[in-house]
Structure 1
Amino acid sequence: MRSLLCHMLIQLQDGSTAENTRASNKPVRLNLGDNSLSPAFEAQLADLKSGDKHSFTLAPQDAFGEVNPDNVYHMDRARFPADMTLEPGVIVGFSGANGTEIPGIVREVAGDSVTVDMNHPLAGQTLTFQLEVLQELADD
């Protein structure tokens, strides 16, 4: 497996920034060949090496996927801590089946019903990625 340590800028179609690793000074590690990236995303990385800069645009199905309505849940307010502020835009962590934390975004609160969207926040978006490869990392 090959990995690239990159600075990455992700922009939405309107030009706004969704993610910028330079702002946080925390480059991202992209692992090729472990199925963590879509085939289309991975194909864009295949020939990159240290020092390369590359920009590309991906449709939703090749980036973070389409919005899946089955990933929107209506939950009872009692399932959340009593002191938790629940309002649209709040991100809530849930335990996944394998012990990982899955973020959900509160979309609506109506009485005792809380609508939580478990889709990736960038699902359904056409995105432009600007990468700068800082380092090629050897197999672990």
Structure 2
Amino acid sequence: MPTAQSGDRVQVHYVKRFEDGSVVSSRKRAPLEMTIGVNDPRLPGLGLALVGLAPGACTTVRVPAEHAYGPSDPTRIRRWARTRFPKDQPLPIGQWVRVSNSQGRQRLVRILKVQGPMVVVDTNHRKAGQALELEVELLGIKVPKPRVEAQGP
């Protein structure tokens, strides 16, 4: 039975979880098709884990935080003026809120502390600093066809 190799196009079912077991995303109903060896930022470390597996095989992959959504960066904790938020917007401590910049682009920040006219926010990705676990089933393999070199006259 053939096993998956780098460059193969494969179909997988997966469940992506945080280490506490909470599900981040899942492709149990509709398989994901991907090429082994092509980095997919949604599923870091998955390609290497599939090499050598045969269709029908299952595996679990632990992805450390630095290869998942990155480590939490303390330099991304900022002090912003309360005026950066709409006057009527509640700022509950520990909650993620949407903020618009001067160009109108929105981003999520976590409210850490409100100190009078200043708000301390965490601008890290909301999943930064968290390791992931990928539970994967290899459904099928499409081996790439070898290239045929053009023959000269």
Q: TM-score range by the shorter chain?
A: 0.5 to 0.7
Q: Which moved more, 1:82-91 or 1:42-51?
A: 42-51
CA contact (8 A) 2:16 2:26 kept: yes
Q: 56, 68, 79: which is aligned to 1:63?
A: 68
Q: Does residue 125 of structure 1 match 2:125? A: no
CA contact (8 A) 2:50 2:138 kept: no
Counterpart code for 1:124: G
The structure carrying a bigger helix percent of its residues is 1
Counterpart code for 1:77: R
Cα distance in structure 2, aligned partners of 1:134 and 1:6: 7
- How does the TM-score come out when normalised to structure 1? 0.63
- Unaligned ranges ≥5, structure 2: 1-8, 142-153
Q: 86, 103, 116: which is aligned to 1:111?
A: 116
Question: How far apart are 1:16 and its partner, in Å?
Answer: 3.6
Identity %: 24
Q: What's the Cα RMSD here?
A: 4.1
Q: Does residue 10 of structure 1 match 2:6? A: no
Cα distance in structure 2, aligned partners of 1:11 and 1:83: 34
- Unaligned ranges ≥5, structure 1: none
Structure number with bigger Rg: 2
- How does the TM-score come out when normalised to structure 2? 0.59
Question: How far apart are 1:20 and its partner, in Å?
Answer: 4.7
The structure carrying a bigger strand percent of its residues is 1
Counterpart code for 1:118: T
Cα distance in structure 2, aligned partners of 1:63 and 1:30: 20
The CA deviation string for residues 40-92 of structure 1, in whole angstroms up to 9 with x for no partner, is 34433567798664321111111111111222221111110111110122222
Aligned length: 132
